[in-house]
Amino acid sequence: MTDDLGLNVSRETSERLATYAELLVKWNPAINLVSKSSLADLQTRHFADSAQLLALCPPDARRWADLGSGGGFPGLVIAILAAESMPDLAVTLVESDGRKAAFLSAVVRETGLRTSVVADRIESLPPLAADVLSARALAPLSQLLAFAEQHLAPNGRALFPKGATHRSEVAESLADWRFDLREHPSKTDPQAVILEIEGVSRV
């Protein structure tokens, strides 16, 4: 799974990912964490797709916040990988759905991660001052930029995976926002990209 992304993981990290996968399969029928059809391709569709974001994390980053974490993608995968490769990186998972937050907390507990789970609405939180902010399949880019303005540290970086509609989302966002943008092709989906965004401000 991670070899394709150029990541070497220890046995401990592999075991944590396996524990995560087992809990996801167990909890999914009750709270619909991911689509049933994607469970068969869990490693690539969700784990590898999330893992590729870690390569875009600045080496001096200390705080990563994942918004609308849901089933834990990408935030929980990042937390598991960073526990070994970037032990000083503190990961916070924000999820307003209490049942999904309970799932995230269960995985954190079972894998022994030092990861915070915040069961609250993103808009209600005080600024998180995150060095890195991520969100996957959460909202249109214009809304994500509003979250970034609120929760990114001054020199922080937002990483937003987006699908085939990303160009129209970027164009629409330019009406209200200024930002520096780099597009990185997804390693798991030829139609998808990761939007790397810095310098967010309102027009």
Annotated binding site: 68, 73, 122-123, 136
Cis omega (within 30 of 0) for bond into 74: yes
Comparing CA positions, the residue from 128, 131, 67 lying closest to residue 100 is: 67
At 92, is the secondary structure helix, strand, or coil? strand
Instruction: Enumerate the known binding-site residues for S-adenosyl-L-methionine.
Output: 68, 73, 122-123, 136
In the chain, DSSP assigns E strands to 63-67, 90-94, 116-118, 130-134, 152-162, 177-185, 193-202
* Half-sphere exposure (Cβ direction) of 56: Cα atoms closer than 13 Å: 27
Give 9's DSSP letter: -
Spatial separation of the C-alpha atoms in residues 199 and 53, rounded to whole Å: 19
Task: Identify whether the C-beta of residue 49 lies closer than 8 Å to the C-beta of residue 34.
Answer: no
* Residue 153 backbone zone (phi > 0: left; psi -120 to 50: alpha; other: beta): beta
CA atoms within 13 A on the CB side of 159: 26
